[in-house]
C-alpha cells in the first residue's frame, strides 16, 4: 500500500527508520517504561511497557531486577556471585542475570567489578568495560570496543554505525578529555573559549565554559582552538571567476570554509565563505548577534549554515524565445539555512547563429562575465541587444550566468544557461494602392486593391478603417508558404483610410506597418490642403480647397465627436451654413479648370490640432465634403525633451545618489498637439541630440556654453541613439553633462545640464586599538585590559575627519568624554582618543563615525572589558546614622553638614591610596590627566578633606570621588564613591491603598475585614524609612517589613536622576 502524509501526499518516511532498519525498536532515553518502533511506513511510533516492566535493550519489555544487590555491601562484592530473587518467582545467581538481558557486569582492571541494570543502559556508551561491551547483555546490538589503554582496560564502547555515534556522551564521563573525545566518533574537543563570551555559546546551544566533546554538527569555524584545527596547511581559496572552491580549508571537521586570522597577540578561526578577507566571521559581518529567543534562533541558523543557496532560471516556454518573452524571464532562489541575500546575473557571450545565407552577420559581445546585475537589468540589456542592427537575427544565442548568495555569505557556484531568442520582428512591405472610382447614379464609390508582403511565416491581422471610425474592417490571415497577399475592397466611399498590417511570427514577435489612403471619387470638392493631419511649426497657416464648379465654400472646425455628428446632419448643416467661416475665392485655374479657394488663418495657438470639414453651396445646393476632403494640421512649436537615463535600468538619472561609474544614455521624446477626437499626439519626431561634457573647474577652452549661455557648436557632439556615455570618478568627478535635442520641425530644446555625481564609494578601512591591541568589533569577542587611562587610537587607510566619537560604559550606561587629537575636523589617518575620566572596572564600547574626503560616512565600534581591581577596598567613612556607604550603589551617603567630612579607606593588602573629585552635575574634569600629576594622595589611609571653598549650587549637590589604591607589587584597586550634601528634609506623601483608598487623616475606620492593609509612601529624594503600626491604646506594636517604595520623579537636581 502507499504511505500518505496528513496532506494526502506520498510519504517516504523518516531517515532514522531507514538507518535503524526494518522493524527496529529502541528504548526511550527519557522514560524507562517507553520505547519506540518503526512501522511499515518508516514512521516512528511511541509505545509503553506494562506497568510492572521496563524497556531493555532493543525495545524489549521485561521485569526489572535489583542488579545493584549483586554488588553486596559497599558495592564491593560483585565477585562473590551472590543470589537475588528475580521476577518474584525465582532466585538466580548474579552471573545468570546478564543472560536474562536485565543486568550487565562491568569488569576492568581499574574499578571494582559492578553489576548495573540494563534499564540504565540505553546505548553502547553506557557499557564501561570491554567485557560488558562485547557481551552486550542488554541487547543494544551493534556495539564495538575501542581501547584507549589496554593495560588499564580503559576504552570506549561505541556504536559500529557511525551515524549513531554521539560525541556528547563523552562529557558524561569524568575521564573525558581531548584524547578520549576522539574515540567517541567524528568528534571535536572544544578546549578554549577563544575570547568568546558566555552569551555566544549559550545562543548556539553549546556548553560553557568549554572543555567539552562536540559532535560534528555542533562545530563551527569560530570555536576551533588552533590554526591546525582551523585550516592546517591548506588555506581556503575561492575562485573569483565562478565561486567554486579551489581548495577548501583542511579543518578538523572538514567544514571547508574556515580561515585563521591573527588579531593582536592571539589568533582566531572564522568562517569566510565569500573570502571577504576581513577579520570578522561571516555572521558577525552580516550583523547577526545574540539577543532574545528569536534573535538567538537566527544567530544559530546563520552560524551553522555552510550550504550555498540553489538558483534556477525559469523560462516562459521551452525552445526559442520571443522578444516579449524576455520580460517573462524569472528565477527561483532557495536556501535551506538563513535565507537568500541576493541573486546576480550576467551575460558571458552572445552571438547570432547563421542558418541561412541571407542572415545578418553574427554579433559578439561580452557584458558581464561575472554575474553582477539584477535580473531586470539583464532583461533591459537583452532588449538593447535586440535593437542592434547586427543582432536582429532569428537565432540570437545568449549564455546567461547567475548565482545566489545567502545571508551567511555562502556562495553558489556560478551557473550558466544558454537561451535562444528570435530577435527579429516580421518585416512588412505595403505596395502603392490602386484606386478605381465610379458613379453609382446616386453617389461616387471606389474599389481599392492593395498588396503587402511579409518576410517570414506569420499570423497577420489586416485592418482598413476610416479616420472618423465609420468603417473598421478586419481580416485574419495565416501565412506559411505564400507570403505575398493582395487585398480587394469594393464600394468604398470617399474618406481618409488607414490600412494596417500587424503580423506575429512563430514565437510571437510582432511587426507592423501602416499607410494612409485618401479616396476621392467625388471631385465636386477636391484637393483640400493641408491634408489631415499635417504637422506644422508656424502659427499663420493658409488652408485651401478646390471645386469642379463655381461655388461658395465654407469650413467648419471639428474638435469632438458631436461636432462630426452635427456636420453629417443635413438639417443642421442647412441651418448653420451661413454662420460658418467663408473661404476667399481665387477664381478658376486655367490649367486644371478647378475653382480655387483659400483662407489665411493667423495667430493660431501652438499645441493645437486644427481639423476642418469643407462644405460648398453649388447654385443653391449645399454639398458637404467627404472625410477625404477634410483639412487637418497640428501646430508643433514644442521643443523635444531629452531625458538622461541609466543604461541598463533605463530609469531617469537624477544624480541624487553618488556612484563610482555611470553608464548613461540620452533619450529624446517629442510631443506636439493632442487631438481629443482620437487621442493621438501629432508632432515632429526628434531629429538630433547634442551633448557636451564639461570638466570640474573648466578653463575657457573647456566650457560647453558661450558667454551668452548658448551652446558652443564646436564643443557639442551629435549623440547616436543607443550609444552609451561612460563616466568614472577618476576622470569625471565634478563634471557636468550638457545636452539638448532638435526635432524635424526645427524646434530646439533649451540646453539642459546635470551634474555627474561621481565619487569613490570605497569606505575607509578603520581600526581601533587600545594600548596597541586591536579592539574586537563585536560584543562577544571581548578584549580584556587593566588600564585606568588606556591609549585609544583610531587608524584609517585614508584621510578622514571625525564626526563623533563616544566611549560608553555598558556596565553603568554612562558616557565618558574623549579628548581627540589632532583636531577631529582635520583630515588625518590617525587620531588619539583620550578618556576624560578614569576608566574603571566594566565593559566599554568605543563608537566612532568618520567622514572621508569623498564625504563617505564610515563607522566602527570596538569593545573591551576593563578589569583593574586586583584586591578589595572598602570605604568605612563617611557615614551617618542613616546609612553606610559601600561605593557600590550611588548616590551613597548623605552628608548633612556643610563644614566637611572624613574619608576612611580600608584595603585588603597594604597600599598607597589617592582620590580624584568631580561634581557629578557636570563639573567633571574636562582635560586628560595622568595619575602621577592629578591624583591627590591619601595619607595613612585616613584623610580629612574640608568642604570649605566649594559653593553649593543646589540644596542637594552630589560629588563623585574616585579612590585609587596601588600596592607595592603594582596591583590596583579602584572604587567610585558618591557623596551628597543635603540640608533639607525630605517631603512625604502617605496614602492608604486598600481595602479603601483614603488619606492619612482618615484615621477612624470600620473594622478591617482582612487582617492586612497596604499603603504607599512617596518621597522627593532617596530615603531610608521606618514604619510602625501602633494600636489605639498604644499597647500593641507590630513592625512592618518589606515596604515597597515607589518613584516620584519631581526633583531634577538629584544625582543621575535617582529619585524615590
Separation in Å, CA 281 to CA 193, 274, 276, 278, 1045: 15, 11, 10, 8, 47
pLDDT at site 921: 35
Contact 903, 965 (CB under 8 A): no
The CA-CA-CA angle for residues 879, 882, 883, to 5°, reads 55
pLDDT band at 160 (very low <50, low <70, confident <90, very high): very high
**CA proximity to 561, closest of 675, 463, 673, 472:** 675
pLDDT band at 42 (very low <50, low <70, confident <90, very high): confident
What would the mean pLDDT of 852-861 be, rounded to a whole number? 93
pLDDT at site 315: 95
pLDDT at site 1056: 35
Residue of higher predicted confidence among 750 and 938 = 750
Torsion angle of alpha carbons 728, 730, 733, 737, nearest 10°? -40
pLDDT band at 356 (very low <50, low <70, confident <90, very high): very low
pLDDT at site 111: 58
pLDDT band at 511 (very low <50, low <70, confident <90, very high): very high
pLDDT band at 583 (very low <50, low <70, confident <90, very high): very high
Inform me whether the pLDDT recorded for 1042 exceeds 70: no
Inform me whether the pLDDT recorded for 901 exceeds 60: no
Highest-confidence range of 93-97, 1017-1021, 1030-1034, by mean pLDDT?
A: 93-97
Specify burial of residue 704 (Cβ count, 10 A radius: 0-12, 13-18, 19+).
buried
Inform me whether the pLDDT recorded for 850 exceeds 80: yes
Inform me whether the pLDDT recorded for 615 exceeds 90: yes
pLDDT at site 737: 97
What would the mean pLDDT of 685-697 be, rounded to a whole number? 95
Inform me whether the pLDDT recorded for 894 exceeds 60: no
Read off the pLDDT of residues 179-211 as tens digits, 9 standing for 90 and up. 999 999 999 999 988 888 888 999 999 988 888
Which element (helix H / strand E) includes 575? helix 570-576
Which element (helix H / strand E) includes 542? strand 541-547
Separation in Å, CA 317 to CA 177, 313, 380, 614: 61, 12, 19, 55
Ordered domains of the chain (ranges, CATH): 15-165 (no CATH), 195-303 (no CATH), 310-421 (2.60.40), 428-519 (2.60.40.10), 525-635 (2.60.40), 641-755 (2.60.40), 766-866 (2.60.40.1220), 873-982 (2.60.40), 986-1060 (no CATH)
Separation in Å, CA 534 to CA 89, 366, 523: 118, 45, 22
Residue of higher predicted confidence among 432 and 21 = 432
What would the mean pLDDT of 535-549 be, rounded to a whole number? 95
What would the mean pLDDT of 437-446 be, rounded to a whole number? 88
Read off the pLDDT of residues 359-401 as tens digits, 9 standing for 90 and up. 444 455 555 567 888 898 888 888 887 877 667 788 888 899 9
Task: Give the whole-angstrom CA distance, residue 216 versus residue 458.
Answer: 63
Read off the pLDDT of residues 970-1005 as tens digits, 9 standing for 90 and up. 677 777 666 655 556 677 777 766 655 555 454 445
pLDDT at site 899: 43
What would the mean pLDDT of 1008-1013 be, rounded to a whole number? 52
Inform me whether the pLDDT recorded for 1043 exceeds 50: no
Task: Give the whole-angstrom CA distance, residue 671 versus residue 741.
Answer: 13
Read off the pLDDT of residues 752-786 as tens digits, 9 standing for 90 and up. 999 999 999 999 999 999 988 888 888 888 788 88
Task: Give the whole-angstrom CA distance, residue 400 versus residue 378.
Answer: 9
Task: Give the whole-angstrom CA distance, residue 970 versus residue 931.
Answer: 14
How high is the mean pLDDT of the chain? Answer: 82
pLDDT at site 929: 27
Cis upstream peptide for 822 (omega within 30°): yes
Separation in Å, CA 959 to CA 220, 601, 913: 49, 94, 18
- Percent of the chain predicted with pLDDT > 70: 82
Inform me whether the pLDDT recorded for 655 exceeds 50: yes
pLDDT at site 76: 67
Inform me whether the pLDDT recorded for 167 exceeds 90: yes
Task: Give the whole-angstrom CA distance, residue 817 versus residue 820.
Answer: 10
pLDDT at site 941: 38
Inform me whether the pLDDT recorded for 912 exceeds 90: no
Choice among 134-143, 151-160, 282-291, 1001-1010 with the minimum mean pLDDT: 1001-1010
pLDDT band at 952 (very low <50, low <70, confident <90, very high): very low
pTM of the model: 0.70
Highest-confidence range of 516-520, 883-887, 910-914, by mean pLDDT?
A: 516-520
pLDDT at site 922: 33
Backbone φ/ψ region at 949: left (φ over 0), alpha (ψ -120 to 50), beta:
left
Choice among 511-520, 802-811, 844-853, 948-957 with the minimum mean pLDDT: 948-957
pLDDT band at 332 (very low <50, low <70, confident <90, very high): very high
Helix (H, G, I), strand (E, B) or coil at 565: helix
Beta strands at 1037-1039 and 1028-1030: parallel, antiparallel or unpaired: antiparallel
Specify burial of residue 150 (Cβ count, 10 A radius: 0-12, 13-18, 19+).
exposed
Read off the pLDDT of residues 225-235 as tens digits, 9 standing for 90 and up. 999 999 998 99
pLDDT band at 716 (very low <50, low <70, confident <90, very high): very high
pLDDT at site 977: 67
What would the mean pLDDT of 551-559 be, rounded to a whole number? 95
- Percent of the chain predicted with pLDDT > 90: 48
Read off the pLDDT of residues 65-101 as tens digits, 9 standing for 90 and up. 888 778 776 656 667 777 777 776 677 778 777 677 7
Torsion angle of alpha carbons 118, 121, 127, 128, nearest 10°? -90
Torsions phi, psi for 178 (to 5 deg): -60, -40
Read off the pLDDT of residues 814-830 as tens digits, 9 standing for 90 and up. 888 899 999 999 899 99
Query: Look-up: residue for cell 493582395?
Result: 486
Choice among 121-135, 241-255, 452-466, 928-942 with the minimum mean pLDDT: 928-942
Task: Give the whole-angstrom CA distance, residue 369 versus residue 676.
Answer: 50
Inform me whether the pLDDT recorded for 877 exceeds 50: yes
Read off the pLDDT of residues 288-327 as tens digits, 9 standing for 90 and up. 988 888 999 999 999 999 999 999 999 999 989 998 899 9
Amino acid at each position: 500500500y502507499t504511505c500518505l502524509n496528513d496532506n494526502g501526499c506520498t510519504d517516504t518516511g523518516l531517515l532514522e527508520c531507514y538507518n535503524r532498519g526494518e522493524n527496529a525498536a529502541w528504548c526511550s532515553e527519557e522514560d524507562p517504561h517507553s520505547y519506540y518502533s518503526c512501522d511499515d511506513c518508516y514512521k516512528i511510533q511511541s509505545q509503553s511497557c506494562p506497568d510492572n516492566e521496563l524497556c531493555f535493550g532493543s525495545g524489549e519489555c521485561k521485569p526489572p531486577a535489583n542488579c545493584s544487590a549483586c554488588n553486596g555491601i559497599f558495592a564491593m562484592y560483585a565477585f562473590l556471585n551472590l543470589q537475588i530473587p528475580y521476577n518474584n518467582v525465582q532466585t538466580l545467581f548474579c552471573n545468570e542475570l546478564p543472560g536474562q538481558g536485565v543486568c550487565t557486569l562491568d569488569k576492568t582492571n581499574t574499578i571494582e567489578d559492578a553489576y548495573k541494570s540494563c534499564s540504565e543502559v540505553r546505548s553502547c556508551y553506557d557499557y564501561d568495560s570491554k567485557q560488558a561491551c562485547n557481551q552486550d547483555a542488554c541487547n543494544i546490538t551493534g556495539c564495538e570496543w575501542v581501547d584507549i589503554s589496554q593495560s588499564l582496560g580503559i576504552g570506549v564502547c561505541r556504536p559500529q554505525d557511525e551515524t549513531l555515534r554521539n560525541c556528547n556522551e563523552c562529557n558524561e564521563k569524568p575521564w573525558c578529555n581531548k584524547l578520549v573525545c576522539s574515540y567517541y566518533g567524528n568528534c571535536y574537543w572544544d578546549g578554549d573559549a577563544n575570547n568568546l563570551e558566555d552569551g555566544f555559546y549559550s545562543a548556539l546551544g553549546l556548553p560553557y565554559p568549554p572543555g567539552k566533546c562536540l559532535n560534528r554538527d555542533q562545530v563551527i569555524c569560530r570555536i576551533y582552538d588552533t590554526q591546525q584545527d582551523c585550516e592546517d596547511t591548506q588555506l581556503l581559496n575561492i575562485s573569483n571567476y565562478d565561486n567554486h572552491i579551489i581548495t577548501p580549508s583542511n579543518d578538523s571537521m572538514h567544514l571547508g570554509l574556515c580561515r585563521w586570522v591573527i588579531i593582536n597577540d592571539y589568533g582566531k578561526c572564522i568562517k569566510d565563505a565569500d573570502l571577504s578577507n576581513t577579520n570578522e566571521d561571516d555572521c558577525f559581518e552580516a550583523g547577526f548577534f545574540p539577543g532574545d529567543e528569536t534573535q538567538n534562533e537566527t544567530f544559530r541558523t546563520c552560524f551553522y549554515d555552510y550550504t550555498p543557496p540553489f538558483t534556477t532560471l525559469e523560462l516562459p516556454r521551452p525552445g526559442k524565445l520571443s522578444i516579449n518573452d524576455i520580460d517573462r524571464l524569472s528565477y527561483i532562489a532557495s536556501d535551506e539555512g538563513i535565507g537568500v541575500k541576493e541573486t546576480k546575473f550576467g551575460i558571458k557571450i552572445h552571438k547570432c547563429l547563421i542558418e541561412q545565407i541571407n542572415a545578418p552577420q553574427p554579433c559578439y559581445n561580452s557584458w558581464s562575465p561575472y554575474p553582477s546585475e539584477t535580473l531586470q537589468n539583464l532583461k533591459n540589456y537583452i532588449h538593447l541587444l535586440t535593437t542592434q542592427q547586427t543582432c536582429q537575427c532569428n537565432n540570437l544565442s545568449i549564455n546567461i550566468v547567475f548565482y545566489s548568495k545567502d545571508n551567511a555569505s555562502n556562495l553558489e557556484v556560478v551557473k550558466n544557461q544558454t537561451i535562444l531568442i528570435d530577435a527579429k520582428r516580421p518585416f512588412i512591405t505595403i505596395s502603392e494602392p490602386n484606386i478605381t472610382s465610379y458613379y453609382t447614379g446616386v453617389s461616387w464609390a471606389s474599389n481599392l486593391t492593395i498588396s503587402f508582403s511579409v518576410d517570414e511565416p506569420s499570423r497577420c491581422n489586416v485592418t482598413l478603417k476610416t479616420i472618423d471610425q465609420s468603417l473598421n474592417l478586419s481580416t485574419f490571415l495565416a501565412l506559411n508558404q505564400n507570403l505575398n497577399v493582395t487585398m480587394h475592397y469594393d464600394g468604398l466611399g470617399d474618406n481618409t483610410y488607414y490600412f494596417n498590417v500587424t503580423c506575429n511570427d512563430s514565437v510571437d514577435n510582432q511587426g507592423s506597418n501602416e499607410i494612409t489612403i485618401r479616396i476621392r471619387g467625388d471631385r465636386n470638392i477636391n484637393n483640400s490642403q493641408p491634408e489631415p493631419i499635417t504637422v506644422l511649426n508656424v502659427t499663420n497657416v493658409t488652408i485651401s480647397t478646390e471645386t469642379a464648379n463655381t461655388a461658395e465654400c465654407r469650413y467648419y472646425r471639428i474638435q469632438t465627436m458631436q461636432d462630426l455628428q452635427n456636420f453629417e446632419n443635413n438639417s443642421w448643416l442647412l441651418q448653420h451654413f451661413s454662420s460658418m467661416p467663408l473661404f476667399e475665392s481665387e477664381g478658376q485655374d486655367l490649367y486644371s479648370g478647378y475653382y480655387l479657394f483659400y483662407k489665411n488663418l493667423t495667430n493660431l495657438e501652438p499645441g493645437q490640432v486644427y481639423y476642418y470639414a469643407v462644405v460648398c453651396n453649388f447654385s443653391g445646393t449645399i454639398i458637404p465634403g467627404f472625410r477625404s476632403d477634410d483639412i487637418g494640421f497640428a501646430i508643433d512649436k514644442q521643443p523635444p525633451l531629452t531625458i538622461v537615463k541609466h543604461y541598463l535600468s533605463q530609469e531617469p538619472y537624477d544624480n541624487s545618489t553618488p556612484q563610482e561609474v555611470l553608464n548613461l544614455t540620452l533619450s529624446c521624446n517629442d510631443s506636439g498637439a493632442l487631438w481629443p477626437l482620437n487621442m493621438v499626439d501629432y508632432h515632429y519626431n526628434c531629429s538630433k541630440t547634442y551633448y557636451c561634457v564639461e570638466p570640474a573647474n573648466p578653463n575657457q577652452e573647456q566650457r560647453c556654453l558661450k558667454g551668452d549661455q548658448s551652446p558652443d557648436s564646436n564643443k557639442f557632439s551629435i549623440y547616436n541613439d543607443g550609444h552609451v556615455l561612460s563616466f568614472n570618478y577618476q576622470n569625471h568627478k565634478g563634471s557636468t553633462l550638457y545636452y539638448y535635442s532638435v526635432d524635424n520641425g526645427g524646434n530646439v530644446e533649451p540646453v539642459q545640464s546635470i551634474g555627474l555625481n561621481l565619487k569613490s564609494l570605497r569606505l575607509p578601512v578603520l581600526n581601533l586599538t587600545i594600548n596597541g591591541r586591536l579592539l574586537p568589533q563585536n560584543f562577544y569577542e571581548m578584549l580584556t585590559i587593566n588600564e585606568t587611562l588606556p591609549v585609544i587610537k583610531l587608524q584609517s587607510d585614508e584621510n578622514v575627519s571625525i564626526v563623533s566619537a563616544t566611549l560608553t560604559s555598558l556596565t553603568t550606561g554612562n558616557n565618558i568624554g574623549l579628548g581627540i587629537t589632532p583636531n577631529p575636523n582635520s583630515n588625518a589617518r590617525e587620531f588619539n582618543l583620550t578618556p576624560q575620566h578614569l576608566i574603571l572596572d566594566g565593559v566599554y564600547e568605543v563608537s566612532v563615525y568618520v567622514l572621508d574626503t569623498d564625504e563617505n560616512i564610515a563607522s566602527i565600534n570596538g569593545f573591551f572589558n576593563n578589569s583593574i581591581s586586583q584586591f578589595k577596598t572598602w570605604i568605612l567613612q563617611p557615614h551617618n546614622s542613616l546609612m553606610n556607604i559601600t561605593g557600590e550603589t550611588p548616590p551613597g551617603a548623605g552628608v548633612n553638614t556643610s563644614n566637611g567630612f572624613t574619608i576612611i579607606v580600608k584595603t585588603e593588602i597594604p597600599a598607597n591610596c589617592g582620590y580624584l573629585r568631580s561634581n557629578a552635575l557636570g563639573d567633571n574634569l574636562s582635560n586628560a590627566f595622568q595619575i602621577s600629576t592629578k591624583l591627590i594622595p591619601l595619607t595613612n589611609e585616613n584623610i580629612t578633606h574640608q568642604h570649605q571653598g566649594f559653593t553649593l549650587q543646589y540644596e542637594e549637590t552630589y560629588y563623585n570621588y574616585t579612590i585609587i589604591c596601588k600596592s607595592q607589587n603594582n596591583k590596583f584597586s579602584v572604587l567610585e564613591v558618591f557623596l551628597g550634601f543635603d540640608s533639607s528634609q525630605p517631603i512625604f506623601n502617605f496614602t492608604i491603598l486598600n481595602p479603601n483608598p483614603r488619606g492619612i487623616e482618615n484615621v477612624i475606620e470600620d473594622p478591617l475585614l482582612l487582617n492586612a492593609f497596604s499603603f504607599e509612601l512617596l518621597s522627593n529624594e532617596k530615603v531610608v524609612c521606618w514604619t510602625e503600626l501602633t494600636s489605639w491604646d498604644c499597647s500593641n506594636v507590630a513592625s512592618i517589613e518589606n515596604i515597597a517604595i515607589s518613584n516620584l520623579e519631581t526633583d531634577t537636581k538629584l544625582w543621575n536622576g535617582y529619585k524615590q
